Amino acid sequence: MPDQLTDAVIVGGNRIPFGKAGGAYAAASNQAMLTATLDGLVARFGLAGERLGEVAAGAVLKHARDFNLTREAVLGSALAATTPAYDLQQACGTGLETVLQVANKIRLGQVDSGVAGGVDSASDAPIAVGEGLRKALLGASRARTPMARAKALAAVRPGDLAPETPRNAEPRTGLSMGEHQALTAREWGITREAQDELAAASHHRLAAAWDSGFFDDLATGFLRLTRDEGLRPDTSVDKLAALSPVFGKGEGATMTAGNSTPLSDGAALLLLGSPQWAAEHRLPALARFVDAEVAAVDYVSGDEGLLMAPAYAVPRLLARQGLTLDDIDRFEIHEAFASTVLATMAAWESEEFCTGRLGLDGPLGTVDRTRLNVHGSSLAAGHPFAATGGRIVATLAKTLHDLGPGSRGLISICAAGGQGVVAILEGC
Amino acid sequence: MQGESDRPTDAAAASPTAAATAAAVPDETPRDVDVELLDRAPRVAAAFATGVATGWRRPGARGTLPARRLVLPGVHQDVSRLAEFCSVTGGLLGDTVPATWLHVLTFPLQVRLMAAQDFPFPMLGMVHVGNRMTVHRPVRVHEELTLSVRAERLAPHRKGSTVDVVGEVRVADDLVWEGRSTYLVRGDTPPGAPAPVEEGAPATEPEPGRQLALWRLPADLGRSYARVAGDANPIHLSALSAKAFGFPRAIAHGMWTHARVLAAVQPRLPRRYTVSAAFAKPILLPSTVVLLTGAQDLGDLTVTDRKGSRTHVSMQVSPLG
């Protein structure tokens, strides 16, 4: 174990443009998208045949056959087959959590390089058979005689044949993520207008980033897509205002399909290394991984909103680093819903929340909106759950590199299960 | 992977002109003058039916090959069908398409050419014995393709005669893929026969090396592959229909096995390569087979039964300069 920690730097990233569920990637599996993204990363940085320290990735919606998804992607890629890999899953926090894992191992000197990120397909989601059919099939597979097998299968009732599709709902509350967030939006008084403004800005900024070539060295086209499929450069606050609410009930409902992220398909990966490894391979360093924090909230009892954990994680992280919101040059707050971003920022501005819940002396502070999601975020790009962390880290690392050495960026990602993963990067 | 340039068949395979001279094609008509331009992919089932219905009127080895080249421009690749092809052949859908997929795209043109009345052999009974493909550069799934197919090199074989059906894929004017399928027709041999040549067969039987994979092939594999590849030859579809043609059970498509092998070694395939395959003993379905790699040369790939005593397909992959 080294006496001093080494730095971990983000060398670069690669993602495929994100697709709409049932769209351009409808026929592509998680393994296909992850392998294509990995091969794109390997090609971009000339890593064919290299043994890297490790590859960590994950998927939230995962088929049983994909138990070793990331290792299978490595074996199907141009990387050396001697590169270890593992899967990790922390709902929408998956991608950023893999960055923590790989960066921490690099900092400890356990590996000198690694790939982190994730993939998700809402189009190719696993469908489970009903419980009655599943038990009958298991019974039949254990049967030793054809008679016993027939008997086991005879237990199947017509109702057992209905498949169980995965639902975007919390197992303990039965509410969908959008229904949970509708409660939070109402509690914080987040207006429809503010949500639609944030959504329109996300589309306009992401479109400008694509137009300016910002993603030229961060993305590789895949299966006909050269830009994110859900991106609508010509949307506007007026157009978004015409949509009907889909989450929440009655008068006060504010959340529409326009200010909520759509179900998406895609993959995103990052290359990390020690500064020495990057230099030896004549590779750049975009940003340094500084620190991270993960928080969880008790949403089951109704004590806190499902997606509010980052509101707790960020103040803890800033305190540990001796920083305030004013020290941050760029914010990347994942747009699960426009109202999530707005409720999180409202909490940090609230004296009651910050003193009562966080134990601070007063409000944490205000996020300068001109520094927030400057190249657009999930509302425009889409949100293939485990791929979002990789997209955001790559975008922020490049943004900070463009701003110059010492510039600071904060990432905040909320996740199902009442969790939040946040991190600080510093431009190189 | 070992080069093949010293093999006598290589020069012939590399250049159609050389092939025409070397194999003493009876048909002296100049090539490339007679183009049949298609506006959509031929319907395989209809062409197949024509071929079968008119098969009895063919002159056999004493006839001449049609000089026509069938050309189909403006082909857009269907991603969902490609995904199913990859799934059935053990591959992974990607931006770059498998070489065997391009063979599948040219297959309806092959059938149309062979079913046409000016083709000298009856289509039923033609056995695919060898295949040789060259990938000049990776082909991407969104690229618009021009496909062409022609027949050439009617040559003697110890069991009858062989004929090559040659496919080409172009992107704009660039030749990106070539495929040569050699079919054996049992029976009389053409006149003026030079020494028989079996396309795709390795120069020497490679020394068996390591086992790379074991595959359990289900009874309905022929039907699954027929659905995605469009090759519904009855010998592949069911035991009953195979029996009608002298096989005890349905047999796997040779090109399925070919595609399965390429999918297995896909991560280490060169960017540009030639792959030759000799189809030996058919795989009777269902079956368990293994993939072996050469002891010396990883480019030598052989599919055999579990004991390694029956060779089903021998393949060789060589990088292109």
- Please write the tens of the pLDDT for every residue from B156-187: 888 888 999 999 999 999 999 999 999 988 87
Determine what percent of chain A falls in helix, strand and coil, rounding each to the nearest 5.
40, 20, 40
HEC profile for B215-283? Answer: EEECCCHHHHHHHHHCCCCHHHCCHHHHHCCCCCCCECCHHHHHHHHHHHCHHHCCCCEEEEEEECCCC
**Contact residues, chain B to chain A, C-beta under 8 Å:** 79-80, 82-84, 86, 92-95, 141-142, 266-267
Query: In the annotation, is A354 catalytic?
Result: no
Instruction: Supply the DSSP string of B33-60, one letter for each residue.
Output: S-EEE-SSPPPHHHHHHHHHHTGGG--G
pLDDT at B17 > cutoff 60: no
pLDDT band at B2 (very low <50, low <70, confident <90, very high): very low
Chain B residues with CB under 8 Å of A219 CB are none
Q: Which of B79, B82, B87 has the most A C-beta neighbours within 10 Å, making it the best mutation to test the interface with A?
A: B79
pLDDT at B197 > cutoff 60: no
- Point out the residue among A36, A221, A224 whose CB comes nearest to the CB of B94: A36
Helices marked H in A255-302 — which ranges?
Answer: 275-280
* Residue boundaries of the structural domains of chain A: 177-212+290-427
- Does A35 contact B141 at a Cβ distance shorter than 8 Å? no
Q: Which of A223, A225, A227, A265 has the most B C-beta neighbours within 10 Å, making it the best mutation to test the interface with B?
A: A223
Residue type at position A31? Q
Which chain B residue is nearest to residue A34, measuring alpha carbons? B94
- CATH code given to domain A177-212+290-427: 3.40.47.10
Closest CA to B191 of B311, B45, B19, B27: B27
- Does A35 contact B94 at a Cβ distance shorter than 8 Å? yes
Q: Which of A220, A224, A229 has the most B C-beta neighbours within 10 Å, making it the best mutation to test the interface with B?
A: A224
CA distance A208 to chain B (A): 25
pLDDT band at B22 (very low <50, low <70, confident <90, very high): very low
pLDDT at A174 > cutoff 90: no
- Does A27 contact B142 at a Cβ distance shorter than 8 Å? no
* Pair of tokens at residue A322: 């001796």
Chain A residues with CB under 8 Å of B266 CB are 76
Q: Is A22 left (phi over 0), alpha (psi -120 to 50) or beta?
A: left
- Point out the residue among A24, A26, A32 whose CB comes nearest to the CB of B94: A32
pLDDT > 90 fraction of chain B, expressed in percent and rounded: 55
Q: For residue B186, how many C-alpha atoms fall within 13 Å in the half-sphere facing its CB?
A: 3
Those residues whose C-beta lies under 8 Å from the C-beta of residue A394, and which sit 6 or more positions away, are A10, A12, A13, A14, A15, A218, A268, A270
Q: Is B77 left (phi over 0), alpha (psi -120 to 50) or beta?
A: beta
- Does B92 contact A29 at a Cβ distance shorter than 8 Å? yes
- Tell me the pLDDT of chain A averaged across its residues: 94
pLDDT at B193 > cutoff 60: no
CA distance B144 to chain A (A): 12
- Point out the residue among B80, B82, B92 whose CB comes nearest to the CB of A76: B92
- Does A223 contact B267 at a Cβ distance shorter than 8 Å? no
pLDDT at A140 > cutoff 60: yes
The string of pLDDT tens digits covering residues B261-293 is 999 999 889 999 999 999 999 999 999 999 999
pLDDT of residue B7: 34
- Tell me the pLDDT of chain B averaged across its residues: 84
- Does B95 contact A78 at a Cβ distance shorter than 8 Å? no
Query: In the annotation, is A281 catalytic?
Result: no
Chain B residues with CB under 8 Å of A225 CB are none
pLDDT band at B8 (very low <50, low <70, confident <90, very high): very low
Mean pLDDT of B63-85: 93
pLDDT at B23 > cutoff 70: no
- Does A223 contact B79 at a Cβ distance shorter than 8 Å? yes
pLDDT band at B208 (very low <50, low <70, confident <90, very high): low
pLDDT band at B24 (very low <50, low <70, confident <90, very high): very low
CA distance B91 to chain A (A): 9
State which H helix or E strand residue A180 sits in: helix A177-187
pLDDT of residue B204: 53
**More confident: A323 or B185:** A323
Q: Give the whole-angstrom CA distance, residue A111 versus residue A277.
A: 10
pLDDT at B75 > cutoff 90: yes
Least confident of A50-54, A221-225, B196-200: B196-200
Which chain A residue is nearest to residue B269, measuring alpha carbons? A78
pLDDT at B3 > cutoff 60: no
Considering A204, A334, A383, A401, which one is annotated as catalytic? A383
pLDDT band at B29 (very low <50, low <70, confident <90, very high): very low
Mean pLDDT of B22-47: 68
- Point out the residue among B93, B142, B267 whose CB comes nearest to the CB of A32: B93
B210 class by beta-carbon count within 10 Å (0-12 exposed, 13-18 middle, 19+ buried): exposed
* Residue boundaries of the structural domains of chain B: 8-319
Mean pLDDT of A23-43: 97
pLDDT at A47 > cutoff 60: yes
Distance between the two ends of chain B, CA-based, in angstroms? 12
CA distance B155 to chain A (A): 40
The string of pLDDT tens digits covering residues A72-92 is 999 999 999 999 999 999 999
Least confident of A67-76, B33-42, B109-118, B259-268: B33-42
Chain B residues with CB under 8 Å of A76 CB are 92, 266-267
Mean pLDDT of A235-259: 91
How far is residue B33 from each of residues A266, B67, B68, B70, measured CA to CA in Å? 48, 8, 8, 11
Is there a contact between A377 and A298 (Cβ–Cβ < 8 Å)?
no
pLDDT at A272 > cutoff 80: yes
Closest CA to A303 of A179, A180, A414: A180
- Point out the residue among B93, B266, B267 whose CB comes nearest to the CB of A28: B93
Least confident of A26-30, A419-423, B5-9: B5-9
- Does A32 contact B266 at a Cβ distance shorter than 8 Å? no
Least confident of A3-7, A144-148, A279-283, B85-89: A144-148
Mean pLDDT of B211-239: 92
Q: Give the whole-angstrom CA distance, residue A403 versus residue A425.
A: 12
- Point out the residue among A32, A77, A221 whose CB comes nearest to the CB of B267: A77
Chain A residues with CB under 8 Å of B82 CB are 27
pLDDT at A167 > cutoff 70: no
pLDDT band at A297 (very low <50, low <70, confident <90, very high): very high
pLDDT band at B33 (very low <50, low <70, confident <90, very high): low
Number of Cβ pairs closer than 8 Å across A and B?
A: 40
- Does B92 contact A35 at a Cβ distance shorter than 8 Å? yes
- CATH code given to domain B8-319: 3.10.129.10
CA distance B223 to chain A (A): 21
Query: In the annotation, is A383 catalytic?
Result: yes
pLDDT > 70 fraction of chain A, expressed in percent and rounded: 99
pLDDT band at B32 (very low <50, low <70, confident <90, very high): low
- Point out the residue among A31, A81, A223 whose CB comes nearest to the CB of B141: A223
pLDDT of residue B233: 84
